[in-house]
Amino acid sequence: MNKDKVFEYIDSKSELFATLSDKVWDAAELRFTEKVSAELISKALEDEGFTVERGIGKLETAFCGRFGSGKPVIAFLGEFDALPRLSQKAGIPSKEESVAGGNGHGCGHNLLGAGALAAAFGVKRYLEESGREGTVIYYGCPGEEGGSGKVFMVREGVFDGVDCALTWHPADHNEVTATSYLASYTVNYRFRGTSAHAAANPEAGRSALDALELMNIGVQFLREHIPSEARIHYAITDTGGSAPNIVQSTAEAVYQFRAPQLHQAAAIYPRLNKIAEGAALMTETEVDIRFIRASSNTLPNTVMEQMLYENMAALPYPTVPDSEKEFMAAISATLPPADSTNWGEVLPYVPSSASRPASTDVGDVSQVCPTAQLDGAVWPANTPMHSWQAVAVGKSETAHRGMIFAGKALAATAIDLFEQPEKLTAAKEEFLRRTAIAPYTCPIPADVMPDMPKQKQAASFGRCS
């Protein structure tokens, strides 16, 4: 069976994938609450003949759909979670909320989940028609944005037995993801003091806000003494109140810190804790430290990346339909002037050991099996991730076309891996070489549970944040 037949099959189901993506866009569910989205994709897998398992990895909205038997086992990773406070009407070129204060698919995970599903359907068709031994698994991975859902899944052994994994991310260009993402941690620091009248009884007060300020100053001095490419970000999520005549008895900040290698990020964690404890000691307050999430740096796999590139380059590039040219031009007019080469072609593949200044929970999958990913153009050039523009074009025919393109490239690469076992062997050898340098340990402790969103989420910590 040649790839064209698989592409035809994916095309024949393109309406289904577009509808699914749009319904996930409509549902716009935050991390670990994606019940509607997870069920939509699970049901589509069942209807297609996959054996579906729900609630895997101790996560209610994680699932997998499996087809075939025996080796090799090739996995596609799908995401479907949205972002807080990014509600936006679809199909209009101006910022306008659809639901006041609502969520939105500013990272295109509606397209990501449906595009990976297209790949899984294509490979199932290939396995059926070719009669070849092997298994394809679609992993429904919840809570990428601020949740590191895949890391919890890795921790629970969900990917054990998988030979390799493929995925993609919506973007403003077509390119194999050749650079590595940073390892990343998120930790919450909550200070508790004693309130008092700030003028009448200042000696009775112990300010949690003072402690938080001292912690931030301490971290400011720490920044000089971490690896150059490491980053420490913070957001104050509780100032203790708005009345200056009350000594603030609570204050809270969430810190996110990243580094090219997991061990480098892990080394920052105890140093932050010491600063927080020092700040508490200085102010006679107490600090509660709550580990939220962590994800590892991604391990590149040049064997699979080269295969992805060849399959992307062999496909016709997706184009903007005439009916949407005006809309896309109007969206582009709201963005910085674009490099026109980003759109409508596949950028050259250049293997790289560099890190990109972002993080993803795909990192931990890449630490337990050979993994490769691509960026697929679904947005006009220069569209930032996590922007209203990304939400506005998320249901467009242009985005649907980009999603199908990505699905076909992923499916074709999986077929090559089935057809050319020597390539899979080479990918595994590369994976073993890379993991031998720094053997993997899951960065999320065994007792840490997924962080559910609060009603008013202050920030998101996904790969694009």
Query: Where do contacts with Zn ion occur on this chain (CB under 5 A)?
Result: 107, 462, 464
Strand duo 164-171 + 371-377: pairing? parallel
Max Cα–Cα distance, the chain, nearest Å: 84
CB of 333 to Zn ion, least distance (A): 24
Q: Please, which residue, 82 or 415, has the CB nearer to Zn ion?
A: 82
CB of 200 to Zn ion, least distance (A): 48
Q: Are 186 and 293 in contact (CB under 8 A)?
A: yes
Q: Please, which residue, 9 or 76, has the CB nearer to Zn ion?
A: 76
Other CB atoms within 10 Å distance of the CB of residue 334: 16
C-alpha distances out from residue 141 to 45, 124, 167, 406, Å: 14, 19, 11, 18
Chain residue whose CB lies nearest Zn ion: 107
CA–CA distance, 76 with 415 (Å, rounded to integer): 12
CB of 112 to Zn ion, least distance (A): 7
CB of 432 to Zn ion, least distance (A): 29
CB of 367 to Zn ion, least distance (A): 19
Q: Please, which residue, 62 or 287, has the CB nearer to Zn ion?
A: 62
CB of 164 to Zn ion, least distance (A): 21
Q: Which residue has 């006009």 as its token pair?
A: 380
Report long-range pairs for 343-347 (Cβ below 8 Å, ≥24 apart): 343/172, 343/173, 343/377, 343/380, 343/381, 344/317, 344/319, 344/377, 345/174, 345/317, 346/174, 346/175, 346/309, 346/312, 346/313, 346/317, 347/173, 347/174, 347/175
Q: Which of 173, 168, 216, 157 is nearest to 364 (CA)?
A: 157
Q: Strand runs (DSSP E) across 151-248, as ranges?
A: 164-171, 175-176, 180-181, 183-192, 231-238
| DSSP three-state, residue 170 | strand
Q: Please, which residue, 68 or 106, has the CB nearer to Zn ion?
A: 106
CA–CA distance, 90 with 396 (Å, rounded to integer): 8
Q: Please, which residue, 118 or 464, has the CB nearer to Zn ion?
A: 464
Q: Please, which residue, 375 or 430, has the CB nearer to Zn ion?
A: 375
CB of 109 to Zn ion, least distance (A): 6
Other CB atoms within 10 Å distance of the CB of residue 428: 17
CB of 176 to Zn ion, least distance (A): 17
Q: Please, which residue, 182 or 279, has the CB nearer to Zn ion?
A: 182
Q: Please, which residue, 107 or 392, has the CB nearer to Zn ion?
A: 107
Q: What residue type is assigned to position 190 of the chain?
A: R
